[in-house]
């Protein structure tokens, strides 16, 4: 399962008035008897932060904190986000793109039995997301030279939509061609191909 986010901001200043000063609490009359202590429920652990793509920090089974849905036939799911932001300040365009992995919605059905091949298959899903982050950065570099800040949103949306569609199709082709990593020959081919394409777009990495 893969997900993506996109957003557009025009850097408008958000003005807020001063907050109202809280009134001092009025002390209540002491109760005649001391109430029984109430048991505080255990706090739920905070969600794990997204993991940014890195050439040196590869995913491990321990990064997968989610749980599969009942009846889901897959052995694992890697949830990644491709997020693009654009802004114009003083009529100067800037754009940023990030590729991240979400530990909370990614899972292995049987973490103790996850093979090296399966982990590599899931890592390559993340690598494909980084590949399209670089494609997006490349396109935004060209876009910045002719961006019209008065008509930014439609043009930006059209650019990002095309990249998102390509990214989605590539992820689906990868799973189909490798049979979710079970075809060792095709899996090795994709790993090599994606690594080569990342290298070709190395100038658009952000590490």
Compute how many other C-beta atoms are within 10 angstroms of the C-beta atom of residue 78. Answer: 26
Contact 76, 118 (CB under 8 A): yes
- DSSP β-ladder status, 5-6 and 107-108: unpaired
* Strand locations in 65-202 (E): 76-77, 80-89, 92-101, 107-108
pLDDT tens, N- to C-terminus, the chain (207 residues): 444 443 333 332 222 233 333 333 333 343 444 555 556 566 677 899 999 999 999 999 999 999 999 888 999 999 999 999 988 888 888 899 999 999 999 999 999 999 999 999 999 999 999 999 999 999 999 998 888 888 888 889 999 999 999 999 999 999 999 999 999 999 999 999 999 999 999 999 997
What does the alpha-carbon distance between residue 177 and residue 96 come to, in Å, rounded to a whole number?
31
- How far is Cα 134 from Cα 200, in angstroms, rounded to an integer? 10
Domain layout of the chain by residue ranges: 48-204
pTM score > 0.85 for this model? no
What local confidence, expressed as pLDDT, does residue 41 receive? Answer: 60
Question: What residues contact residue 148 under an 8 Å CB cut-off, 6+ apart?
Answer: 155
Phi, psi for residue 97 in degrees, rounded to 5: -135, 135
The CB density around residue 56, as the number of other CB atoms within 10 Å, is: 5
Q: DSSP code of 75? A: S
Q: Exposed, middle or buried, 145 (CB in 10 Å: 0-12/13-18/19+)? A: exposed
């Amino acid at each position: 399962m893969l997900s993506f986010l996109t957003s557009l901001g025009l850097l408008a200043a958000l003005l807020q008035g001063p907050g109202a000063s809280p009134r001092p609490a009025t002390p209540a009359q002491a109760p005649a008897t001391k109430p029984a202590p109430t048991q505080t429920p255990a706090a739920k652990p905070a969600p794990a932060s997204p993991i940014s793509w890195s050439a040196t920090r590869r995913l491990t089974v321990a990064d997968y904190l989610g749980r599969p849905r009942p009846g889901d036939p897959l052995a694992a799911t890697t949830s990644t986000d491709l997020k693009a932001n654009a802004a114009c300040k003083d009529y100067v365009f800037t754009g940023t793109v990030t590729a991240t992995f979400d530990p909370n919605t990614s899972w292995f059905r049987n973490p103790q039995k996850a093979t090296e091949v399966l982990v590599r298959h899931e890592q390559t899903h993340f690598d494909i997301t980084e590949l399209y982050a670089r494609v997006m950065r490349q396109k935004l570099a060209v876009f910045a030279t002719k961006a019209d800040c008065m008509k930014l949103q439609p043009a930006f949306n059209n650019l990002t939509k095309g990249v998102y569609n390509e990214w989605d199709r590539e992820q689906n082709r990868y799973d189909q061609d490798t049979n979710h990593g079970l075809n060792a020959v095709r899996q090795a081919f994709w790993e090599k191909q994606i690594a080569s394409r990342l290298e070709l777009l190395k100038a658009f990495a952000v590490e």
